Structure 1
Amino acid sequence: MLKDFLKKKRKYATIPSERAKQEVPEGLMTKCPSCRTIMYTKELKKNLLVCHSCGFHHRMTAPERIASLMDEGSFVETNKDMLSKNPLEFPTYEKKLESDRKKTELNEAIVTGYGTINGLPTVMAVMDARFRMGSMGSVVGEKITRAVEDAIEKGIPFILFSASGGARMQEGVLSLMQMAKTSAALQKLNRQGGLFISIMTHPTTGGVSASFASLGDYNFAEPKALIGFAGRRIIEQTIRQELPEDFQTAEFLLKHGQLDRVIPRNEMKETLTTILDIHQGGETNGD
């Protein structure tokens, strides 16, 4: 009798997992990967995707970041229809590109354009890690180069947000060439007295960190962003030493003089406004 009673209690006390899933709409809640706090996704987005509990910066898409910084209705996207080809005839590459286009509703791993931040004009480029892990292919490099040229032509600053796993292996040396091309364009901007603000987000690695991402007049990063060229394991195996726990974090690079400042996301717009205002109508000291 007691055994039968316990079975009945267990039956009515247990909620089937499928039913539980149906009762909580998908996307309603988000768990912070750092502190494991579960929060309403809507509230997280209101806080610019920064965890209320621990300050962890969740990844932002390019459209989300542009919306958080640019004045409403001011942003004009440029070179939107540029598409990557498959010059090396790499197997399945075209299918992967098409899959990412559908998933992200972007044509490439970067969005470029111009607009205003609190009324101050600027050209902006924002990488999106959802598309091929933000890898730098020939189209990414070309769009950055054209954005820099737009900044030169308009005589306004250029801001770039990096988020990348490095060069795109499916395009081989064509991808690596973008490091030189983008760097040359930025050197031209510098000689013209233009301003370049580089902001590195999580992650900024490989050929991107070794080229345009590190060439700003101001080099900033978001908190705890992973920034580096080679992977931690490869470096440790090469130098046969154990690296510090915070190695390749934004805070580590700031401490060692490779960044000018680590800026929390909720301070980013104010900081950029201040810098743009200081340089309004002026020029940097180009070499």
Structure 2
Amino acid sequence: MNHKVIWITGASSGIGQALAKAYDNLGFRIIISARNQEALEQIKNQSKHPTNIYVLPLDLSDPDSFPSKTKEAIKAFGKLDVLINNGGISQRSLAAETSIEVDRKIMEVNFFGTVCLTKELLPHFINNKGGHFVAISSLVGKFGTPFRSTYAASKHALHGFFDTLRAEHYRDNINVTIVCPGFIRTNVSVNALTGDGSPLNEMDEAQEKGMSPEQCAKQIIMAIEQQKEEVLVGGKEKYAVYLKRFFPSIFSKIIRKAKVR
């Protein structure tokens, strides 16, 4: 598969950075995007195959830049085969204490930013008679938990959009994989927004004890290669999805008592 070109958003840290390094080790040509250009350049400079990496700064809250950014991404290696929509922001605040501005910001980045970029690339995949969209969702894209109301909403919305996109473009040979990570050892909680929009600046205990981003990236790459429609990634927290599905009342009682922030 390593003749394919992969575009990764949110590639400056966490799961995105781990994916970039893993694909680099496999010899893929990759385009790495995030707001932090310095971090992206460092990833490229430390890579095994720097000529196979193209740095493309991107702000998911700036959709007006997407047409030019997408053209630049396609031009970098002449084509694109896979877009991994990994960029996003999390939340750690009660719904009643979260300003509507923060709600809108989370939706703008996690949902609208991802959807706008996907739609910008869609014609390229249609013309090429193939492509693969990957949406990095979350386990809270399958159920809601305290302190993550709008984050959960943004991830739920991604499932609706990408499930529909998969059905609509099946005959165009376009695949869609939705990835639902659980607790992964990244700075997602550190950078999460609180009710007034300021970052939490703390690592969640569950996050700190979670799966390594490298192991997460390995499972994501395997799911992409196998063209899975949806995959759950993480530890025992994955089973909450099945508890919610088959025993919703029990799940509700447990989640009310969960020690999460």
TM-score, normalising length: structure 1? 0.31
Larger radius of gyration: 1
Considering fraction of residues, name the structure with more strand: 1
Give TM-score, length-normalised by structure 2.
0.34
User: By percentage of residues, which structure has more helix?
Assistant: 2
